[in-house]
Structure 1
């Protein structure tokens, strides 16, 4: 094994795919519609399994790394990003609860998701190295709009 980090990452990803497949197997089958609630997760799990197998094979072929841990600066960014994502999840649920409990909420549907996702991307993109303000705002706006459009319009799923 030349690159144990790739092999271990691939095995962990395979395990997560197994947990996902087990979770999806409990979802109900399609009724009158052609695609049931498990169709999208299954479509995601198949490429993830393939990619994790590729990662494992590459781990056996690739030259070993001298250091398996990222630099301190990169490690701090990773921890900061994980904290930011956790804050995003809290904001998403708290805003959703706030709008749900309001007598006259400013948004009838998808408001908490739209606000939380746009704010998350506006903060995350500079953290990941993006510097152009126009690019950051455009990516945050377009990504949020596309996600809301796909889930609310195509899948007809109400987001928090």
Structure 2
């Protein structure tokens, strides 16, 4: 390992595992697209049908992905999977705010039909501001004002100026 903490062997192993995961995703996508190509309507006048060419292409992609998966599995040492999992967990812990933001976005999207655009947006923006910004009295006041403007203000703008009504919610 060098002075910067970079180990070429670990980086190579992580790259091989990431490549393996991408091959698996390509395999799943090509199999799914192959199955969906079977649903393309066929013509009475063609023997192969309209879905034949896409099925051939996706079968070829799946075959190449299987070959690549076998080759990648052959190149990866047995202990690399555990090291990769540990490195991935450490990476995720260092970037926890990204996951907090994505979770807040998912909750926001679930709450829009229930609470309506204005209330859900106010809670979403305020919660993210409280998580991401420094907490001082002045910044808390600014956070509440920004959340109100970008939730209730946008709802007013769309309703009164553009006559586009955002979701009201059931509550």
Short-chain TM bin: 0.3 to 0.5
State the structure with more CA Rg: 2
Q: Which has the higher helix share?
A: 2
The two structures have a TM-score, normalised by structure 1, of 0.42
